[in-house]
Amino acid sequence: MTRRAGNGGEHRATRLDNGVGVLTESMRGVRSAAVGVWVRQGSALEPAEMTGASHLLEHMVFRGTENRSRREIAVALESLGGSLNAHTSREHTGYEARILAGHLPRAVEVLSDIVRNPLLSQEDLDREKEVVGEEIAAVEDTPDDLVFELHGGRMWGGHPYGNSILGTRDGVAAISRDDLAALHRDTYVGANMVVAATGRVDHDAFVDLAGKWFGGIRPGGGAKGVAGPRRARPGTDRVDRDLAQVHIVLGRDTPGHSHPDRYALIVLSAALGGGMSSRLFQRVREELALAYAVYSFQSFYARAGVLGVYVGTRPASAPAALDAVREVCRAVSAEGLPAGELADTREQVKGRIMLALESPGARLHRLAGFALRGEPFVGPDEARELIDAVSECDIVRVAGEAIDPELQYALCLGPHALSTGC
C-alpha cells in the first residue's frame, strides 16, 4: 500500500509472510533516517506476578547477544555517529536507531540482533536488576515523577493501566531468567512486531532489509490486549513526604486512542494547559504567582486514556493552587471555549504537529503508532482536517466528562500534605 503523507512524505506499508508489519515514510531533503522495531508488549499486558518484566527485558537485550558483547552493541552505531535507544510503555516496547541514511542496513541488522538474539545470562540479569533498582530509586527521589506513579496507581484502582512500568524492587527481584526467556519467546514474534523507517529511505529496499533480518522470526500469536477498566474514581488523596513543594496531579479517565473524541481531547488539553498562553498558565502562574510549573497532559491507550493537570507549589500555597486549577477546569467544563480561543488553539495544535514532523524521529513514532494500534494511517493533511473539525459543542461535551472537578481524581504529594487542606 502506498499513500501520500503530506509534508513531502510518502507512506507505504507491507506485511511479511510471518506477520511482521513493515512501514516507511520518505522525507525529501534529509540525509538521515530513523528506524525502529516495536513489539506489542508492555506493562499493562503483564500478569500481576511479572510486573516490570517487559521493562527488564528491554534492558537485558543490551547486555549482549549471540553475536555482540554489550560493548560491541554500544559502539555498533555510535561509531558511525548514530544512536541506539529503547523504551517500554503500557502496551509496547520499542527499539530505535538514528543514523545517516547510508548506514540504514547496519542499523537494521543491529536492531535485529538485539531483538532476536539476547543472551539473557543469569550474571547479566543479576547486574541489570541492580540497574533497574537504581532507576526505581531515581523515580522515588524525583517527586514530580513519583506523583504521577502514585496518581496512576490509585486512579485506575488496580487496573493494569495503573501499574508501574518499572515495577517494584521486590517484584523485579523475583523475576527469573526463565521468566524473561518465556516472555521473549512468546511475545517477540512476527504477529506482534512492527518494523518502520522514516527519512531518506526507499520502501522496496527497506522491505528487503526487513525480510532478510526479521523474516525468519516465527509468526506466533498476536497480543491478547487489555480488559477495559472501570470508570476511574473521583476524590482527593494526600501522601505526606518531606519535600520543598507539594506536587499535585488531577486526572480523569477518557476514551482510548481510536475514539472519535481523540482530537477534541487534544485540543481541550492544549487550551487548558498546553503552553504559556493556556488558561492554567495564565491564571495559576501569571496572575496568581502560585506555581512555576503547571501544565496539562493526556495519554491514550487501547481501552481508555487519561487527561489531567500537574502543578507544583509551596506547601502554604497548595490549597490556593488546587482551588485555582479546579476553578479553571470548572469554567471550561461548564462553558467550553469561545470561538476565538478555540480557533487559536486549533492553530496551535496544528502548528505543533507540523513542526514536530520536521524530525524523522517524530515521524517514526507517529508512523509506527497507527500500525501498533491497528488503525488506518492519518497523514498530516488529514490530521489538520480532523483538528479543524473540532467544534465548540465538541469541547463542551468532552470537557464536561474529562475535566469537571467533581469527576477528577486528585493526589497531593508533599510535606504535611495531610494537613495543608490540599
- Quote the CA–CA distance of 204 and 124 in Å, as a whole number: 38
Q: Is 58 a catalytic residue?
A: yes
Phi-psi region of 279 (alpha: psi -120 to 50; beta: other; left: phi over 0): alpha
**In this structure, how many other beta carbons lie within 10 angstroms of the beta carbon of residue 45?**
23
Residues written for the chain? 422
- And the C-alpha cell for 329? 477546569
Sign, CA torsion 274/278/280/284: positive
Residue 227 DSSP symbol? P
- Quote the CA–CA distance of 29 and 8 in Å, as a whole number: 9
Distance of alpha carbon 357 from the chain centroid = 17
Q: What is the largest CA-CA distance in the chain?
A: 64
Residue pair 331/120 in contact by the 8 Å Cβ criterion: no
SS (H, E, C) 147-190: HHHHHHHHHCCCCHHHCCCCCCHHHHHCCCHHHHHHHHHHHCCH
- Quote the CA–CA distance of 322 and 280 in Å, as a whole number: 11
**In this structure, how many other beta carbons lie within 10 angstroms of the beta carbon of residue 247?**
27
Q: Give the burial string for 251-264 (b: 16+ CB within 10 Å, else e).
A: bbbbbbbeeebbbb
Query: Of the candidates 230, 248, 232, 237, which has an alpha carbon nearest to the alpha carbon of residue 329?
Result: 248
Catalytic residue among 25, 58, 91, 96: 58
Q: SS3 for 7?
A: coil
Catalytically active residues, by annotation: 58
